[in-house]
Structure 1
């Protein structure tokens, strides 16, 4: 696909006129809904002048992304993890926070079903002001199949996206922790949410998203459900459920108090 040039997205206007001038019959409006969905990332990037952001996370039935001792491998099943790599491959950037890199030391690569890195890898970006050891796997291009990496030294989601936009990025796959997710949600910078729900309970542990300042049901953040799919269990595992949701607003807790 055509990439953005520095300074803005390239316009493709005038294509129909050129085809008709060449004597080629052109029909409009065919598969309009499908085409709109296919171009959603490009259209938002062009309109907002920033990358489209997909936030992905896995959680238990009670919304935990990790147990009380910090363990999170694996909350989701193998089918969900394979599906995650499929979604990663659609994006040109994967983004996490410095705490995720410091604690989990992820590779952030796209891999196939045999755990081999694909030939083309997204940019691996880490966001935050904290210094990180050069030996972290995110900074090792050999270990990760040649995937490039960048450290965005900011805590501001909008500033981070501006830096990625300047690097010609159009689709960010957000896989950071609860704090980073909350920051992007509160800034209104999440365009798609993909959730894998595993059929077990923890009762304690780390939540998938940090405090959004919401104290009452009336103020709940309510994205629109676009798809619900059951991913069959592999290797004897139970199935997982994948939700795909579209935010319509950013979280905005009411300033009023209950009487």
Structure 2
């Protein structure tokens, strides 16, 4: 199952509204187990992992064991249920990891298998299997994308320098890890202030993964961003959207440049975009995960509204000093609802991950 989970990670961020599921078909004819079929949910979400793995295994699936990272689907959509496909293939045993909270599936996939006489072993490494599918699970259970907040901060807890433009806080290795993080998300968000100060590209620039750049979203209630910034100039190459209030005067010019405009509601009594409503809209558009790389104000707003599920803090070795912009979050003041996870030493930089606890 651990190998199946690793397999599932390959298509995270590519499978649309479906989760990236892994499937291995394994048989043992007396000389030890042999993998005879492999499958990952295809880009776009179809075909499903089970279908791909069974096609590769062919007749070798008869009497074999299928390892699946998510309970096989039990409903008819654009394709027949994967639970039925496993029954028709003649597998003898299905080992599943995470359960599927989709009410069309939950428990029903396992029931189809058991009713057909297949031995079902559920919940093996379930917590580990949920990680690559966490965005899908959040969209189903919270009705919004999973939100990861990523901040790069200096050794003295600053994320930038006032009036100084973009500051290179982290090194090449940590920056490459950031680009990999972007490739695993369907959308990335910053505030208009970050665009004004830094003119970022917000793309994935790892060799071979350039086509996995996420949708770029800018919080810009009044659409004050200039048409000359990188995000607008490259909107026809990498999808770009601006979250706005109403219909700003510049709307037509931004649409002509290839940008999408997301009309949002305002927080009561303010001119700020209601983030929870925006996330609802993104979920309705099929987005399962969102990476927030905005500045201090944007980060603080997501935190104050309780909309952050995962935090990534990357601490560089530099010191910015008293003219720096203080980070809204540091390892020493991490809220109690977040638990520490993976840590990576990336050259001189320390990458820390935190995940919201489920009580």
Q: Which residue, 129, 154, 169 being the options, matches 2:287? A: 169
Please state if 1:135 is matched with 2:228.
Answer: yes
1:227 aligns with 2:318: no
Map of 1:66-215 to 2, 5 A cutoff? 66-112=160-206, 114=207, 118-131=210-223, 132-141=225-234, 146-153=237-244, 154=264, 155-204=273-322, 205-209=324-328
Query: Residue 89 of structure 2 corresponds to which residue in structure 1?
Result: none
Deviation at 1:75, TM superposition (A): 0.3
Unaligned runs of 5+ in 1: 211-216, 234-238, 250-259
Mark the CA change 1:227 to 1:68 in structure 2 (over 3 Å): closer, same or farther: same
Tell me, yes or no, if structure 1 residue 25 matches structure 2 residue 119: yes
The answer (yes or no) to whether the contact 2:147–2:307 under 8 Å persists in 1 is: yes
Q: Does 1:244 align with 2:244?
A: no
Change (3 A) 1:22 1:2: farther
Structure 2: distance between partners of 1:69 and 1:103 = 8
| Cα distance, 1:165–1:177 mapped onto 2, change above 3 Å | same
Establish whether residue 62 from structure 1 lines up as the match of residue 76 from structure 2: no
CA contact (8 A) 1:230 1:241 kept: yes
Residue 11 of structure 1, CA deviation: 4.0
Query: Does the 8 A contact of 1:225 with 1:246 survive in 2?
Result: yes
- Call closer, same or farther: CA 1:203–1:135 in 2, change over 3 Å: closer
- 8 Å CA contact 2:154, 2:318 repeated in 1: yes
Quote the residue 1:213 is aligned against.
Answer: none
Q: Which residue of 2 aligns with 1:3?
A: 17
TM-score by length of 2: 0.58
Q: Residue 142 and residue 200 in structure 1: after superposition, are their counterparts in 2 closer, same or farther (change >3 A)?
A: closer
Is contact 2:16–2:286 with CA below 8 Å preserved after alignment? Answer: no
Q: 1:166 to 1:140 in 2, by over 3 A?
A: farther
Matched residues in 2 for 1:193 and 1:41: separation? Answer: 14
Greater CA deviation, 54-63 or 197-206? 197-206
**Compared CA separation, residues 2 and 162, structure 1 to 2 (3 A):** closer
Whether the 8 Å contact between 1:109 and 1:117 is mirrored in structure 2 is no
Matched residue SS, 1:189: coil
Structure with greater strand share of residues: 2
In structure 1, C-alpha distance between the alignment counterparts of 2:123 and 2:135, rounded to whole Å: 19
CA distance in 2, matches of 1:202, 1:2: 40
CA drift of 1:157 comes to: 1.5
How large is the RMSD of aligned CA atoms in angstroms?
2.7
Larger RCO of the pair (alpha carbons < 8 Å, separation 6+): 1
Change (3 A) 1:122 1:68: closer
Contact 1:65-1:72 within 8 A present in 2 as well: no
Q: Going by fraction, where is helix more abundant, 1 or 2?
A: 2
**Structure 1 Cα separation of the partners of residues 166 and 211 of structure 2:** 28
The 1:18/1:134 distance shift into structure 2, 3 A limit, reads: farther
- Count of matched residue positions in the alignment of Structure 1 and Structure 2: 229
1:112-151 deviation per Cα after TM superposition (whole angstroms, max 9, x unaligned) = 1x4x7622331111112132233322133467xx321111
Residue 159 of structure 1, CA deviation: 2.1
**1:138-180 Cα deviation digits (max 9, x unpaired):** 133467xx32111111522212212212221110000011000
Residues 177, 209 of structure 1: 8 Å contact kept: no
3-state SS in 1 of match to 2:210? coil
Who wins on radius of gyration, i.e. which is larger?
A: 2
TM-score by length of 1: 0.78
